[in-house]
Chains A and B, each alone.
Chain A
Amino acid sequence: MLKLSEIVKILDAQVLTGEENMDLEIYSGCGADLMSDVMAFVKESVILCTGLVNPQVVRTAEMMDIKVLCFVRGKVPGDQVIELAKEKGITIIATQHPLFICCGMLYSNGIKGRGVWN
């Protein structure tokens, strides 16, 4: 488990929206650029790391009750994406690290939770 504030430090990330949620506890993670692959495995207290920055990423998070998104490789989302995330109460952080490195850093720092319902 990691607090979101620790994740932000580990990934050297910027908080794009949801500064008030830094105490969230994250147990599992998911790294994907295809949203159906994300939806194939339900997990609890998840951070989703992705290189995609369109509104459908926020929608996917909404359906899955994913509270935290991490945009990787320095991708910058449009205002529309940030607004939608705000509306849905989803926190977005962004890092320069590529997806693989990002997942590796989180895993080696204790984010190892696996999917449920499988």
Chain B
Amino acid sequence: MSEAAVKLHYDIDAEDFTTAGEASSGVKKTLTRLGAEPDVIKRVAIAMYEAEINAVIHGGGGAADVEITPEKVTVVISDQGPGIPDLDKAMTPGWSTATNLVREMGFGAGMGLPNMKRYTDEMYVESEVGVGTKVTLIVNMKR
């Protein structure tokens, strides 16, 4: 890994469900190119993908900002959607407000936030009802 930090920015489109995941895909490619460990790459990819999907299906679209340093990968996914009224509830495995339409597309298992927690070293959720949600995911390069 080179010493300088790599910074990436992606807009997350709410309109097109088929492109959801492109930001995570781009980050996975970049980490692979930089020679990060396979398990680090996979953990970042899964956690970021879950957050990206949430921004699409719950947040009405948003943005992803990623910083890669020799020490860690930091992913910040933010949206200006409805916010999360009860964070404890939202973190409960299986709890979901996803619509049937979203469920038919394979999401809404209520495992997104728990999965993000499982695969990251640090995770922070800041959310305000009516303002939006910001999820920060950190994966250390070395465990």
Interface residues in chain A, defined as those with a beta carbon under 8 Å from any beta carbon in chain B: 33-37, 39-40, 42, 50, 52, 54-57, 59-60, 62-65, 80, 117
Contact = CB atoms under 8 A, between A and B. Distances in A.
Given A42-B42, A54-B106, A56-B20, A62 B50 contact: no
Pick from B21, B39, B106, B114 the residue with the most CB of A within 10 Å.
B106
Contacts of A33: 106
A35 B28 contact: no
B106 A35 contact: yes
Contact of A34 (B24, B49, B107): B107
A40 B106 contact: no
Contacts of A55: 18, 21
How many B residues touch the partner, as a band? 20 to 34
By secondary structure, the A interface counts as helix
B115 interface: yes
